[in-house]
Amino acid sequence: MDGARYDDPALLELVERAMRGEQNAISDLIRTSARLAYPVAYGILQNRHDAEDAVSEAMYKVIKNLHRVETSAAYRGWLTTLTSRTAIDLSRRRARRQAREEVHEHVPETQAHDTDASDRLALREALAELTPEHRAVLLLRERDGYDYKEISVMLQLPLGTVKSRLAYARKALEKQLEIPLNE
């Protein structure tokens, strides 16, 4: 995981100060949290503007619900859960409003890295084909390194559902990318 870790003392201290109501700490926590939340939201939504909207919504929820976090050590997991759910909800709302409008972001390509850029684009397109629920589980496991139980707790899903969604997502990517993925 990039950015602050669960046990990052600076993040823990910032959360504790914000939980005590220190205004400067709350502002700093929102800035830090937004940086931590963006990769989670983007991974689910696969669109920069949608991810920014989801992060904005999630930061509003952080301010409104910070009192619900039991300990500063639980904050990072709570933030990831909150962001994942917010991104999935946003995706569902937009899918209902728009009858599945595909938006592909331009992937900058350089002459020296055409193959890498092509692979990244193929992966992004394959991820975009997954449902937000499948994409969330896959990215939390493969990109962010959470174990099955952590994902189960974060997304409030039964462990079996996490495993089946992950298996489905991997199979779908294997089929689309025509490469076997590690399980």
pLDDT, tens only, 120-140: 788 888 888 888 889 889 988
- Confidence category of residue 3, pLDDT binned at 50, 70, 90: very low
pLDDT, tens only, 28-65: 999 999 999 999 999 999 899 999 999 999 999 999 99
What was the pLDDT predicted at 105? 41
With CA atoms as reference, report the closest residue to 84 among 134, 16, 124. Answer: 134
The answer to whether residues 3 and 36 touch, using CB atoms and an 8 Å cutoff, is yes
With CA atoms as reference, report the closest residue to 83 among 154, 4, 156, 165. Answer: 154
pTM of the model: 0.62
Give the C-alpha separation, 39 to 36, whole Å. Answer: 7
With CA atoms as reference, report the closest residue to 49 among 116, 94, 10. Answer: 94
Percent of the chain with pLDDT over 90: 44
Q: Which domains does the chain have, with CATH numbers?
A: 1-98 (1.10.1740.10), 113-178 (1.10.10.10)
- 119-122: long-range contacts, CB 8 A cutoff, minimum separation 24: 122/177
With CA atoms as reference, report the closest residue to 181 among 108, 126, 110, 125. Answer: 126
